[in-house]
């Protein structure tokens, strides 16, 4: 079955162990109507093993991961999702971080009833697969405190959230479990507001995949519950029922 990925984290795949790679001598040769094409056997073999490992991991997580909107999720827990997500990056120093966000309240009533909460995924742009995210204008990440020559620069609530999310996926890429729970909830809401404001320029696409929970933000008087997670995989949903 053909699968089209938007995002695939090899760092997370490796945390589940690398499969034994079958090394074939020489090279593979494909015969085409216009002649033969030589393909490096080890490279082709690595890709096949990678997909086999992903299929096994899909089955493993499919039996254990919770639906992302289930209440009472814990940091570090695996969840699965299917949602119309926008893929964006921030302008400035955090262009290496990619964000996926679902529709704002009232934007897609059918999806909103299905999910019951919001989803924000954060990862590294190096794990994008042939996809260029749109850059959105983020809320101010830094501010100035004090006056005159004594002024100091500090991180805003949005800046604190971005730094925490950036550190989380960087440490996770090295195979270590980061300190979770330090994500600024108000800052995450500001990031979501910025992404929501881009909805007319950045359409969402129905995708599915697995992610590991970073934190869960409870509902407030003005905002729904929100699950923040780091994705293993994000792939297009080709057929929806």
* pLDDT, tens only, 181-200: 468 889 999 999 999 988 77
Cβ neighbours of 75 (radius 10 Å): 18
pLDDT surpasses 90 at 95: no
Give the up-direction half-sphere exposure of residue 191: CA atoms within 13 A in the CB hemisphere: 38
Q: What does pTM read for this prediction? A: 0.80
The phi-psi region of residue 146 (left if phi > 0; otherwise alpha if psi is between -120 and 50; otherwise beta) is left
**Tens digits of per-residue pLDDT, 26-77?**
444 444 444 454 545 555 677 777 788 888 888 999 999 999 999 999 999 9
Q: Percentage of the chain surpassing pLDDT 90?
A: 34
DSSP string, 137-155: -PPPSEEEES-GGG-EEEE
How far the first Cα of the chain sits from its last, in Å, is 18
For 22, 25, 228, 234, the CA distances from 188, given in Å and listed in that order, are 44, 51, 9, 21
Scanning the structure block, which residue is given the tokens 């890429």? 173
pLDDT the model gives residue 65: 95
**Across 109-123, 155-169, 205-219, which has the greatest mean pLDDT?**
205-219
Does 147 or 129 have the greater pLDDT score? Answer: 129
188 contacts: CB under 8 Å, gap ≥ 6 = 120, 161, 217, 226, 228
Write the DSSP symbol of residue 129: S
pLDDT the model gives residue 108: 86
Give me the residues paired with residue 134 across strands.
88
Q: Domain boundaries in the chain?
A: 66-236
Q: What are phi and psi of 200, to 5 degrees?
A: -75, -25
- Please tell me the distance from the alpha carbon of residue 32 to that of residue 30, in angstroms, as a whole number: 6
Cβ neighbours of 122 (radius 10 Å): 25
Beta 205-217 vs 226-236: how paired, if at all?
antiparallel
Give me the residues paired with residue 84 across strands.
206
The answer to whether 118 and 108 are in contact (CB under 8 A) is: no
pLDDT the model gives residue 203: 80
């Amino acid at each position: 079955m053909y699968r089209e990925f938007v995002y695939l984290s090899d760092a997370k795949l490796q945390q589940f162990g690398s499969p034994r790679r079958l090394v074939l001598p020489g090279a593979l040769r494909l015969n085409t109507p216009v002649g033969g094409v030589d393909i490096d056997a080890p490279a082709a073999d690595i890709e096949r093993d990678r997909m086999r490992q992903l299929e096994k991991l899909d089955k493993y997580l499919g039996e254990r991961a919770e639906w992302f909107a289930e209440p009472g999720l814990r940091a570090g827990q695996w969840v699965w999702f299917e949602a119309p997500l926008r893929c964006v990056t921030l302008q400035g120093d955090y262009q290496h971080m990619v964000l996926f966000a679902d529709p704002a309240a009232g934007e897609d009533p059918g999806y909103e009833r299905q999910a019951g909460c919001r989803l924000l995924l954060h990862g590294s742009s190096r794990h994008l697969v042939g996809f260029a995210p749109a850059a959105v204008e983020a809320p101010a990440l830094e501010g100035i405190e004090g006056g005159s020559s004594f002024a100091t620069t500090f991180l805003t609530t949005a800046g604190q959230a971005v730094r925490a999310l950036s550190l989380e996926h960087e440490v996770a890429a090295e195979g270590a479990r980061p300190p979770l729970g330090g994500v600024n909830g108000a800052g995450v809401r500001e990031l979501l507001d910025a992404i929501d404001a881009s909805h007319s320029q950045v359409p969402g696409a129905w995708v599915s995949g697995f992610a590991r929970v970073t934190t869960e933000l409870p509902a407030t008087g003005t905002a729904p519950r929100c699950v923040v997670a780091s994705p293993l995989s994000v792939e297009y949903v080709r057929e929806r029922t």
